[in-house]
Amino acid sequence: MDTEFTFNSRRSPVVCLHGCVATSQPLASTVGLDILKRGGNAADAAVAIAAALAVTEPCSTGLGGDAFCLFYSADTGEIQGINGSGRTARAQTLDFMESRGFSTESPPSVFDALNVTVPGAAACWCDTKELFGSQKLSLQEILSGAVELAELGFPVAEVTAHHWADNVAALRDAGKKLGDDLLIDGHAPKSGQVFKNPALARTLKELGEHGKPGFYQGRVAKAIVDVISKDGGVMTLDDLRSHNSEVTTPISTEYKRARLWELPPNSQGLVALLLLNILENFPQLRATGHNSSDYIHVFVEAVRLAQTDGLCYLGDSAHTSIPLETLLDKSYSSQRAQLIIMDRAMEQTKPGPITASDTVYFCIIDSHGNACSFVNSTYMGFGTGLVPDGCGFSLQNRGANFSLHRGHINCIAGGKRSYHTIIPALLTDSVTKSQKPQQLLAALGVMGGFMQPQGHVQVLLNMMEFGMNPQQALDAPRVFVQYDQKSGQWFVNLEEGIEQEVAEELRRRGHKVNWPVTGHQRSQFGRGQIITVGDWWNPSATQASRLPRVLWAGSDPRADGCALGY
């Protein structure tokens, strides 16, 4: 590890041989590890964990939201993805929104039923199991751990209890009320209080028995449409029945000796790759010191450029042409990097010229070397807070990400997917397919809305540039570059642990800095998980001393979770 790195890691990484899971909730980690021990693979465990987190962290995730999956096959070295994001109701066109009196200047409330898009998580779970699973366990068996948690109850963890209460209060302040299925006597459960959700247990059982029809048709589908309709939405049973996931080819970029893989648009994984490509033009980054003023300055400016391009060019590829090849070309990022000046912040950022919230993240590597990187989200806390009768989950508000500006790439349309913040990631070596199957280096991710690509790159650089192990990489103080649409200004939020003189120097260069960010406010920096194959991040390890099959894992201290292995 770099001797200049002074931040003390709070716990050791988990090391194991035969399989590992890392999640934001210990009970969910236990459920996933149990699936691996019963003969399931990484994909099976991912579905089991997603369901367990839907029970234990409903203020971040659930069946009413979306899910994205990346899967690495140890047999072939191939990486495949599933885009499990839902679409708007077909009737929800821009003309319709304008007829309701909404506009760019006056959009609907983030909790409005019109922000509910078709929940894609259930289909993604089923497709993950069918396409990538071991086929040794049925969907009912995979979901049984989550069903048990929902039926028998579980003690609510401390960080989850805080966010649960915060999100209930936010809904109340907006004149909304969360459904009773997710409350105890009308209140959010307290830390340590046992919470049961028999309605969700019933829904999970129906999904396990009937698969996708058990969610997108019948009782659950009718309950979804009814609660949306009562609140002014226009989703129909046909919108739900016609939903399907999209199997995708991931996009990637090479950084030094590794290749980072992300899902293509409408996922914002593109932003993480753009950011990494820009930073590659600053080989002196490591020499400036971890979280130094120079390091953070370059990072912040690169985020502004990458995020600006993402907001301009990223949308649903089924509705528009996205110039991925041009954007990911190294020469394009080289041109963008030239806009960064070391002694002052850019006055404004514009998209480059081209010619063509709340969430859960978790990862698993199994005994065969397969890996699954998975994200599930209801977007902002409980999303809209709408709970279909007798179903035990709330409906997402992902539609709040749409633009109402006519002609914008992310403008709302019927049956369209919005700009999507959730992004799982995988890291492999940088060999070409003609040489040999690519070798997995890590499964990693950092949840947290627009923080996610920034989080991916920060923890990756912590390992690749500063030699941190997975736990240290997650423990280290982070930076969140935040764009305020109302003021048109960029803010730099610095977590506690970053030195005061760094904050002062960044202000001198023209950045609008919030420092220090402490306590539960640190949730804005995301909550990540990492599992690496071998200790390739360790600069003192020689080739002869490396143990490539040892799994090293870390879990973010900003959440309740842990990594477990066997």
pTM score of the predicted model: 0.95
Angstrom distance (rounded) from CA 29 to CA 16: 15
301 in any annotated domain: yes
Residue (of 401, 267, 402) closest to 322 by Cα position: 267
Instruction: Give the per-residue pLDDT at 252.
Output: 97
Q: What size, in residues, is the chain? A: 566
Sequence-distant (≥ 6) Cβ neighbours of residue 434 within 8 angstroms: none
Per the structure, the complete domain to which residue 555 belongs is given by 250-356+422-565
How far CA 200 is from CA of 142, 143, 172, 338, in Å, comes to 15, 12, 23, 52
Residue 380 lies inside a defined structural domain of this protein: no
Nearest CA to 478 out of 454, 442, 500 is that of 454
The reported pLDDT for the residue numbered 352 is: 58
Q: In tens digits, what is the pLDDT along the chain, a chain of 566 residues? A: 333 334 456 789 999 999 999 999 999 999 999 999 999 999 999 999 999 999 999 999 999 999 999 999 999 999 999 999 999 999 999 999 999 999 999 999 999 999 999 999 999 999 999 999 999 999 999 999 999 999 999 999 999 999 999 999 999 999 999 999 999 999 999 999 999 999 999 999 999 999 999 999 999 999 999 999 999 999 999 999 999 999 999 999 999 989 999 999 999 999 999 999 999 999 999 999 999 999 999 999 999 999 999 988 888 888 888 899 999 999 999 999 999 999 999 988 876 554 336 789 999 999 999 999 999 999 999 999 999 999 999 999 999 999 999 999 999 999 999 999 989 999 999 865 555 679 999 999 999 889 999 999 999 999 999 999 999 999 999 999 999 878 889 999 999 999 999 999 999 999 999 999 999 999 999 999 999 999 999 988 766 556 668 999 999 999 999 999 99
Distance CA 361, CA 381 (A): 14
Give a yes or no: residue 443 inside a domain: yes
| Torsional class of 369: left (φ above 0), alpha (ψ -120 to 50), beta (otherwise) | left
Q: Which amino acid is at 34?
A: D
Closest by CA position to 166, among listed 186, 181, 188, 197:
188
Token pair for residue 13? 């990484």
524 neighbors 451 (Cβ within 8 angstroms): yes
424 in Cβ contact with 373 (< 8 Å): yes
Q: Token pair of 146, please?
A: 């989550």
Q: How far apart are CA 59 and CA 420, in angstroms?
A: 18
Tokens of 229: 């309709």
SS3 555: strand
Pick from 427, 483, 431: which is nearest to 459 by CA?
A: 427
Q: Backbone phi, then psi, for 49, in 5-degree steps?
A: -70, -45
Q: Please tell me the distance from the alpha carbon of residue 330 to that of residue 235, in angstroms, as a whole number.
A: 42
Residues 233, 231: Cα–Cα separation, whole Å: 6
Kindly list the distances between the CA atom of residue 464 and the CA atoms of 81, 452, 461, 484, 539, in Å, as whole numbers in the listed order.
Answer: 25, 18, 5, 31, 9
71 falls within a domain: no
Strand pairing category for 425-429 and 371-379: unpaired
What are the tokens at 278? 């820009």
∠359-361-365 over CA atoms, to 5°?
165
Judge contact between 562 and 543, C-beta under 8 A. Answer: no
Q: From CA 482, how far away is CA 467, in angstroms rounded?
A: 27
Other CB atoms within 10 A of residue 188 CB: 22
* Per-residue CA distances from 232 to 182, 239, 342 (Å): 22, 16, 51
Q: Which of 128, 308, 359, 532 is catalytic?
A: 359
Q: Collapse the DSSP code of 472 into the 3-class scheme (helix H, G, I; strand E, B; otherwise coil) and give the result.
A: helix
Q: What angle do CA 391, 393, 398 make, to 5 degrees?
A: 130
The CA distance from 261 to 427, in Å, is 6
287 found inside a domain: yes
Number of domains in the chain: 1
What CA–CA distances, in Å, run from 54 to 65, 137, 293, 477? 10, 20, 40, 28
Cross-strand partners of 70: 81, 373
DSSP letter at 525 equals G
- In the sheet that 20-23 helps form, which strands lie side by side, from edge to edge? 246-248, 79-84, 66-72, 371-379, 358-365, 20-23, 562-565
| CATH number of 314's domain | 1.10.246.130
Residue 528 domain-assigned (yes or no): yes
Which tokens go with 425?
């990631």
User: Which residue bears the tokens 């209460």?
Assistant: 165
Asked, for residue 61, whether it belongs to a domain, the answer is no
> Do strands 489-495 and 512-517 pair parallel, antiparallel, or not at all (unpaired)?
parallel
Give domain status of residue 322, yes or no.
yes
What is the secondary structure of 86-125 as a DSSP string?
----TT--HHHHHHTT--SSSPPPTTSGGGPPPP-HHHHH
Cis omega (within 30 of 0) for bond into 26: no
Concerning whether 542 is annotated as a catalytic residue, the answer is no
pLDDT of residue 543: 65
Give the pLDDT of residue 437: 79
Range list of H helices, 314-396: 324-328, 330-337
Sheet containing 479-484: order of strands:
479-484, 489-495, 512-517
